[in-house]
């Protein structure tokens, strides 16, 4: 039995003894072993693709997945490691809110916002992969100018999102926690260096002038295959 398997089994045994019911949320939920680690879910970008076409770059369109659904990733609670899975329908209620307020930020820094649902510059939806993020960015924004070349070069290639767990359940063996409903209102989606669920790739392309004479350059994060 490997060390990680022993750790999972030991954590599950302690969890079974100490957690009152399977519907209880993970205690001290975090993305790494150290107790002070941030609890975030991220989709890691495995590679970068560049596609160029004529255009003046007057608008940037960013597309990516801030998280994946129905795929397990390792998380930690008070007792040790476990597998977390977000259900495909966990976002249904939160994304249906008429007053949904979620920004796209850099590194979960709320002062480095580059798009927002309330301004009509950020759209969130669920597709077969997970949480789809589509943002229209201002290239004159200093944070956009900062992150664009890093995405192009692959220096930054992951996404994450901040949220609250509304409901979930532990598996019968206490090794997996399934998130059944989340609340994203006043949370965020973020472009990050590292997060918790490795699964995506990234791309950047420029597009020629549209029919309305506004040219767009496309910053595109898409989920890798399997």
Name which of 42, 37, 21, 9 is nearest 200 in CA terms: 42
Confidence label for 78 from pLDDT (cuts 50, 70 and 90): very high
Q: What percent of the chain has pLDDT over 70?
A: 73
Per-residue pLDDT tens for 115-149? Answer: 999 999 999 999 988 999 988 888 889 998 899 88
pLDDT of residue 120: 96
Lowest mean pLDDT among 82-91, 174-183, 185-194, 211-220: 211-220
Distances (CA, A) of 133 to 30, 37, 55, 187, 192: 23, 25, 23, 14, 14
pTM for this prediction = 0.77
pLDDT of residue 5: 63
pLDDT of residue 56: 60
Lowest mean pLDDT among 52-66, 150-164, 172-186: 52-66
In the three-class reduction of DSSP (H, G, I as helix; E, B as strand; rest coil), residue 224 is classed as coil
Q: Say which residue, 77 or 56, is predicted with more confidence.
A: 77
pLDDT of residue 58: 72
Contact, 163 vs 184, CB < 8 A?
Answer: yes
- The stretch 149-167 carries a mean pLDDT of 87
């Amino acid at each position: 039995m490997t060390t990680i398997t022993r750790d999972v089994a030991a954590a599950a045994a302690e969890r079974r003894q100490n957690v009152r019911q399977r519907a209880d949320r993970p205690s001290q939920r975090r993305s790494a072993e150290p107790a002070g680690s941030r609890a975030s879910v991220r989709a890691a970008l495995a590679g970068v693709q560049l596609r160029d076409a004529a255009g003046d770059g007057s608008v940037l369109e960013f597309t990516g997945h801030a998280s994946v659904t129905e795929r397990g990733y390792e998380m930690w609670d008070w007792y040790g490691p476990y597998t977390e899975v977000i259900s495909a329908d966990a976002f249904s209620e939160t994304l249906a809110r008429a007053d949904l307020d979620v920004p796209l930020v850099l590194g979960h820094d709320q002062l480095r916002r580059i798009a927002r649902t309330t301004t009509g510059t950020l759209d969130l939806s669920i597709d077969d992969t997970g949480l789809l993020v589509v943002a229209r960015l201002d290239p004159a924004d200093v944070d956009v100018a900062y992150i664009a070349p890093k995405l192009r070069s692959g220096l930054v290639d992951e996404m994450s999102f901040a949220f609250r767990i509304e409901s979930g359940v532990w598996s019968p063996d206490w090794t997996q926690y399934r998130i059944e409903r989340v609340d994203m209102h006043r949370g965020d989606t973020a472009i990050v260096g590292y997060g918790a669920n490795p699964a995506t790739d990234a791309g950047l392309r420029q597009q020629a002038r549209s029919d309305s004479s506004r040219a767009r350059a496309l910053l595109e994060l898409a989920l890798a295959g399997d």
